Amino acid sequence: MRVRLAAVKLSIDRPRLALLLLAALLGVGIWAYRGVGDSLRELRATSMVTLLNTQIEALEQWIAEGRHEAEQLAADAELSATVGRLIRHGAGGEEGGRIIERVLQAAGGIGITAAHVIDGKGNVLASSDAARIGQTVTPDFFANLAPALAGRSIFIRPYRGGAMGINPLQLGSVWIAAPVRDARGKVLALLALGSPAAAGFADLFKAARPGSSGESFAFDADGWLVSESRHIEELRSRGLVAGASKGIAPLRLLVAQDDTARLTRLAATAIAARLGEESQRAGVLLDPYVGYLDREVIGAWRWLSELDLGVAVEMHAAEAYAPLRYLQIAFMVLLAMILLVWLSVFLPAETLDRLLRRKPGQQIGPYRVIRQIGAGAISNVYLAEHRLLKRPVALKVLKPQASSDEWIARFEREVQSTSLLRHPNTITIYEYGRGPNGLFYYAMEYLEGLSLADLVERYGPVPPARTAYILRQACASLWEAHSCGLVHRDIKPQNIMLCEISGERDVVKVLDFGLVKQVSGVATRDLTGSMRILGTPLYMSPERIRNPADADARADIYALGAVGFHLLTGRRLFETETEHDLTYHVLHEEPRLASDCSPFAVPAELDALIGRCLEKDPAARPQNIAEVAGALDALLVHAPWTRRQIDAWWEKNWVAADSPERRFSTTRY
């Protein structure tokens, strides 16, 4: 009898339970749908901004390489002598033709198709186009050349209709100009190098095309594209553009509204913001708007004032938010299934268990990712844990967009080179492999501390004794690397960490051997050969700037001297506004003494040691890292950084927190 009553009661409770579950899941479904929608928008915004930044970095790197090439060509002694004679005796002649032909041969590898030598009054002294010799450039173009005549190389973006041309220059070309100096450094004239915008410049924007509809492009202050549209064939078929099949067809970012043509929302917003504050010259448009193809798109943009153009990334909204459409379908299917379950008054336990099951953290090889702790141009770094050993590691994962043969080779070389090193002051590599979707990764020891860049930024200049103590440990790491025939080539404050390890404090760890070069043995191929200069110019020795492949142990000694200067002074070795000015200073200007800039009384021996490390001529520097280490040992005998000083600093500035990034206070010395 009791069993029958229990069965009747259960039959009554099941419909109510199923109805309550239906209502609860409906509420959770709506909440999840909105949450996923918001998350997708945030994810899309992040991905588009990242892609935009990558595109701008590629553009800036391309311009920097072109300017560097132009500066090297303009510095040729024979060109300078020829220009001097042309100024004295008149433009043209066989001598001018020969020097221009030589310039074109030297620059042919970077796509240069035209070259001109222009004096300080705008007269064309020599040119790859004989008809231009003796003519005067247009006032607009000459105004753009002013910085080059003042001694700085410049980039001139493509303009429509040859408005910036030499009566006029080639339609749709980009130009790079560099000053030509005499033996005393006085600017005689400038060398202008031109290449078709439809070649190298436009190709830069073809690489950043996400999905099947996304594209990256550049535009001017009137809303005209100065790069090629991904949809050019569709535009031609619809009669929206005219022009030949080669080159960049004229196209304006317009949309039909109220029987009138207006700039697209992205173009209008960017152009309106170009004269505002720097913080206002970038944005993301996640609400769909009509693009120049009359389809709804979303986009991200930034106005580059120095180049006087905007760069944008756009993608069709239907493709960008396609996951939401699939989510809508899945949500409706789920509701139908729940309704059927309610109608049948039956919800199996295994179904409930499946609905409530939690997804584990992402697995990369044998590691479970906990959170992201860093990001770079080609890789991300995550805090992770070994699935079996439960050991925390820093997991460096190569980004999919950086998985070219060149970067994979560089990534593998970083792992293989670092794994050869066993010194306690060098970061330890555990293993290397491939994760989901073939992503390359390697696991290294997880460090708790801060980089030397963060140390100076938070606490100001470092006392001389502690500076010597830190540099001595960095020497120990480099000593082992140099003994193995390896040159780091990217020593800088960001790549040296100050850590607490198993109770030992002020322990230095040298990181990031991604630009390491083997100077002995069979594996001597320099991967920077095809990628120009890689690294940080502020900490790059002059010989590395002149020839990226020319680097021995003395290049690391120079960089270590620059790090020491930064620690003692809290300032940059050279204070310049642009990277090109910085490069000039590294090559030609003598650095200041650390004692002139430091708030501390810098010992003369330490001041002299850093000065020797920073000599332009490698032969004038200490010839090996052991010599630097010996000098630092002698300094530390007379002015030690003691255990009591170390403990006092860490106890004063170490703040317990859940996140390692927040473990330091901001108290200064």
Write the pLDDT tens digit of every residue in 156-190.
888 765 544 443 333 468 889 999 998 888 998 99
CB 514 within 8 A of CB 381: no
- Tell me the catalytic residues: 490
Same domain, 499 and 605: yes
174-207: buried (b, 16+ CB within 10 Å) or exposed (e) per residue? bbbbbbbbeeeeebbbbbbbbbbbbebbbebbee
Q: Tell me the three state secondary structure of residue 390.
A: coil
Strand-pairing partners, residue 180, are 189
pLDDT tens per residue, range 538-549: 888 898 888 876
Whether 270 shows a pLDDT value over 90: the answer reads yes
On whether both 497 and 636 belong to a single domain, the answer is: yes
Question: Same domain for 463 and 598?
Answer: yes
Kindly state whether residue 473 falls inside one of the protein's structural domains: yes
Using one digit for the tens of pLDDT, what is the confidence trace for 354-412? 333 323 367 888 888 888 887 766 778 888 988 888 889 888 887 766 566 666 777 77
Mean pLDDT (whole number) for 145-153: 87
CATH number reported for the structural domain that contains residue 222 in this entry: 3.30.450
Instruction: Give pLDDT, residue 360.
Output: 39
Choose between 563 and 547: higher pLDDT.
563
- Residue 414 or residue 642, greater confidence: 642
Indicate the range of 55-69, 480-494, 650-664 predicted with least confidence.
650-664
Last residue of a domain, one of 166, 199, 232: 199
More confident residue, 141 or 499: 499
**Residue 104 shares a structural domain with residue 157:** yes
- Is 204 inside a domain boundary? no
CA–CA separation, 216 vs 210, rounded Å?
Answer: 9
Long-range contact pairs involving 327-335 (C-beta distance under 8 Å, separation at least 24): 327/33, 327/36, 327/37, 328/33, 331/29, 331/33, 334/25, 334/29, 335/26, 335/29
Instruction: Give the mean pLDDT of the chain.
Output: 79
Question: Is residue 588 included in any domain, yes or no?
Answer: yes
| Each residue's pLDDT tens digit, 284-329 | 998 999 988 888 999 999 999 888 899 999 999 888 887 767 776 7
Residue 485 is assigned to a structural domain of this protein: yes
Q: Do both 291 and 332 map to the same domain?
A: no
Could you give the number of structural domains in the chain?
Answer: 5
Range of 144's domain?
A: 75-199
Both 522 and 658 in one domain: the answer is: yes
Highest-confidence range of 95-109, 154-168, 469-483, by mean pLDDT?
469-483
* 436/453 same-domain check: no
Report the pLDDT averaged over residues 614-622.
93
User: In CATH, what number is assigned to the domain containing residue 372?
Assistant: 3.30.200.20
Instruction: Please list, in sequence order, all residues whose beta carbon lies within 8 angstroms of the beta carbon of residue 265, skipping any fewer than 6 positions away.
Output: 285, 289, 290
Q: Residue 637 pLDDT more than 50?
A: yes
Whether 283 and 370 map to the same domain: the answer is no
Q: Check residue 660 and give its pLDDT.
A: 44
- Which of left, alpha, beta for 367 (phi over 0: left; psi -120 to 50: alpha)? beta
CATH of the domain at 588: 1.10.510.10
- Is 527 contained in some domain? yes
In a domain, 49, yes or no: no
User: Do both 482 and 336 map to the same domain?
Assistant: no
Q: What is the CATH number of the domain that holds 108?
A: 3.30.450.20
Residue 466 lies in a domain: yes
Asked if the structure places residue 69 within a domain, the reply is: no
* Same domain, residue pair 375 and 517: no
- Give the end of a domain, one of 199, 218, 236: 199
Do 286 and 329 belong together in one domain? no
Q: Where does a domain end: 420, 446, 472?
A: 446
Same domain, 217 and 279: yes
Least confident of 92-106, 142-156, 222-236: 92-106
